[in-house]
Chains A and B, each alone.
Chain A
Amino acid sequence: MNVVTPVDKLTAKDFTSDQEVRWCPGCGDYAIAAAMQSTLAELGVSRENTVFVSGIGCAARFPYYMATYGFHTIHGRAPAIATGIKLANPDLDIWVVSGDGDALSIGGNHLFHLLRRNVDVQFLLFNNEIYGLTKGQYSPTSRVGTRSPSTPMGSLDTPVVAASFALGSGARFVARSVDTLRKPLSQVLKRAHAHRGTSFVEIFQNCIVYNDGVFSDFTEKAVAADNQLHVEDGKPLLFGSEGNRGLRMKSDTFELEIVTVGEDGVSESDVLVHDEKNRLLATMLAALQPPDFPMALGVIYCDPAPGYEANVMAQIAQAKAKSPATDLNALLRQGHTWTV
């Protein structure tokens, strides 16, 4: 319904709004915004067809900094707003930007339903394991024992693993990246954009004020190689500074174990090959946590299915084919009438 005008090659700057950025100096959101702006330019999308939708929280300021359409809504409800936007105009290219509190606490219900419906939007969850905007309370992804203004003796509740939640909700695309990993992040964003249906992307984002270094166990340079597993479809699940550590399936317990290629008779053929259409494997990869295992990053799962809005439009087309819309006056006169 919208005319897509051919655009001259836009640059990252063309996707940057004139608004002064209000995130704390050193916030991981800066890196994500920059990656997004350059990725949009590389994707060659049009500004007018791109919509950023957010809820409430530090991450939710994101739309103000994008020179596209943007809707900063209310806490937790961005998935529902985005669903309405997509159903009203399926041609729009929608990014939902959320945080761990917005997406998994107050908005958990909506995220669950967005994913199971498979509405064609990109859903970005900036996970910093803390509430930033309300000044430092623990979040649903905070590790047990997190001391915060509301949990001075440590938090008690078990954290949710965002990617596992997404897979359990029926997501057809689940990916992960890190705010500072510019290139992998950009690649994940591009894959998310290409995927039809809901693309769920968790981005580990460092909150320099309230939770600094919370992901350092796998993001610090010194440990990154050993604690990050960059998965790639069709490639063996190998990691480590030598590139010789890999994941193998324990056939007796259906668990993943770490093996070293070249040791104990292990060869590369023993290492699992990533199959991004394998939901069971994705579920196991999503659950891996340092320090025992590396953090799985990249596209963990991608198995497209028709998007919800496409099916809705198909039903409308079917209804129109079956009984074409008549003049509304005719509708009012259908059924039993009588003349006085």
Chain B
Amino acid sequence: MVSSTAVKHDGSKPERRYLESVVVRFAGDSGDGIQLTGSQFTQTTALARNDLATFPDYPAEIRAPAGTTFGVSAFQINFGGRDILTPGDEPDVLVALNPAALKVNQETLKPGGLVILDSMSFTDRNMRKAGYTANPLEDDSLGKFRIIPVDIARLTLEALKEMGLSQKEALRCKNLLTLGLVYWLYDCDRQPTIDWLEQKFASRPEIAKANIAALNAGHAYGETMELDGTVETYTVPAADIAPGLYRNVTGAEALAWGLVAGARLAGLKLFLGSYPITPASTLLHILSRLKQYDVITFQAEDEIAAVCSAIGASYAGALGITSSSGPGVALKTEALGLAISVELPLVLVNSQRAGPSTGMPTKTEQSDLYQAVFGRNADSPLAVLAARAPTDCFDVAVEAVRIAVTYMTPVIVLTDGYIANAAEPWLIPDVGDFKVPPIEFHTDAEGFQPYLRNEKTLARAWAVPGTPGLEHRVGGIEKDSQTGNISYDPENHQRMTDVRAEKIARIAEGFAPLVPEQGNAKGPMAVVGWGSTFGAISRAVSNMREDGLDVSHIHLRHIWPLPRDLGDLLRGFDHVIVAEMNRGQLLTLVRSETLVDAEGLNKVTGLPFKISEIEARVRARLEN
């Protein structure tokens, strides 16, 4: 907890302490309503004008046995009065609704942190299921934490005893009681949640009433403790946030909307061909509900059919999109080569996950950069972009569409499971502020050749079936550089290979100058990152800069082609550290393309970087 001086909150009550930011983690069994609790807490803090970032942490198992460690579901939120960029390294507060939730999460809790736990759930049986050999509440294993045991089930039943609900129904309100308690702890307004409950259960007012009663009971329980003076309470100030209309958005939502926006700006139908895979399926789910926006979604029989159907759609004049995760992208490789060869627009979204092979599907990693940039047979260049945060997914999606249709090329967008599922407040943009050129298909038969190119972009003409006079054949066999007819001519193949590379290289001409996100354009140290490590690197760099260290943060949205001014920028620093969640993939690219002697900061645990990890490494490097 980042705290400032204590202030007197109310004359009759103990003082509430100001905290600049707080990390709260709710954890319980899959059936405990943890995600709902988390999202309500998120809405409430957002309305209180806190900046925030959240991360849901679901179990991989669909219905894991109750009470087991692998069935624990968690939701983490970092909120505060300053710019919040990550869901936080270490929770200040852990709400654990059963022993398994405590067992799984206690290691990540900050020393001195607060644990609110459901005391009655700590039965011998539940503790055994969670893998405790001794009761953690009775030995000193939790000694470094402050523990608030609350008999949540009993309090809930008591609060609802007049409601006429069955015990089972009443116990379903446990999560709201917990939420009420946490609201009290951080001085949060209960009204938005009450409004939401009334709306959600409009047709079942008794359920709404019960949940509201549980919420209020939790809050009242806190007030009782407060009067005892047993627990310290806090106030988190509003953040200095740009004015405007906000909403919460996950990366998957922002990405889906960005793709729809890009397609509509280009004046194209959007076609998504996809095959379910964790953590990429969410994009398919969201787009399948946007049919009224000329969105066609197709759940294909496999990854190959998914990308091929998208290529077919682009061939016919729609914007073909496919989405997957690393192992699925591997299957799409040959078809990507076809899209490169026939030069059709295509957007492939890769929600990266830990690998190789099946790896850890629900854990995050950035290890598909090589696959995206290099992973095809032959010289087969395409464009690669990476999103840095949930809200950034919208901008990156529009940019991907722009590049795909402007240059008639496949574009790979790299996100990851962390970005796709995490949420943050979003200053809702005006779609009209984004620039994608409206597409005009080629219709003029005069002098038409399928591989005639735009002189500036080198994009070939997009002539779609149904256009009279432009009938032509394309395919994966090497083509004559003008007619598109099959050609094995040696000079022609050299020319076509060169032009495919040059076309992709020219994409970089449209990039804005690369400037550090923070810090100077020259200096002793630059930390370079890409993708979802943005938040952690940014906060680490700002922390160090506050301590007077001259550290710069450089972030790359465009992975391929790289910005042309990258080398010049990096040469202005004594040390360049490339931080990424792999064994050094961007590092390889940076070193080979710029010849700068950069070094890697790498982590592949399936978990995001901690701010402290980045700081530690940079500080150590600066000291020697």
Contact = CB atoms under 8 A, between A and B. Distances in A.
A51 B465 contact: yes
Contacts of B227: none
B242 A72 contact: no
A194 interface: no
5 contacts: A5-B468, A72-B475, A80-B312, A87-B298, A340-B242
B261 A328 contact: yes
Contacts, number: 207
A51 B293 CA distance: 27
Contacts of B301: 80, 109-110, 112-113
A68 B46 CA distance: 58
Given A84-B312, A328-B293, A339-B244, A69 B261 contact: no
Interface string A62-73: 011011111111
Nearest to B293: A325
B243 interface: yes
Interface in A228-262: none
Consensus secondary structure, chain A interface: mixed
Contacts of B290: 331
A84 B47 contact: no
B309 A84 contact: yes
Nearest to A54: B475
A67 B312 contact: no
Contacts of A157: none
Interface string B233-269: 0000000011111111000000001001100100001
A159 to B, nearest CB: 23
- Range for the number of chain A residues in contact with chain B: 35 or more
A302 B18 CA distance: 76
A47 to B, nearest CB: 5
A48 to B, nearest CB: 4
Contacts of A70: 472-475
Interface of A: 1-2, 5, 17, 19, 46-49, 51, 53, 63-64, 66-74, 77, 79-89, 91-92, 109-110, 112-113, 312, 315-316, 319-320, 322-325, 327-329, 331-333, 335-340
B485 interface: yes
Interface of B: 43, 46-47, 49, 241-248, 257, 260-261, 264, 269, 271, 273, 290-294, 296, 298, 300-302, 304-306, 308-318, 320, 334-335, 337-338, 342, 428-432, 464-477, 485-486
Given A69-B472, A70-B473, A72-B474, A88 B318 contact: yes
B11 to A, nearest CB: 31
Contact of A73 (B269, B291, B431, B475): B475
Contacts of A53: 312
Contact of B296 (A51, A63, A87): A87
Contact of B305 (A1, A2, A77): A77
A49 B46 contact: no
B316 A84 contact: yes
Contacts of A73: 308, 311, 338, 475-476
A319 B291 contact: yes
Q: Across chains A and B, which 3 residue pairs bring their CB atoms closest together, nearest first?
A: A84-B312, A72-B475, A84-B309
Contacts of B296: 87-88, 312, 316
A281 B598 CA distance: 72
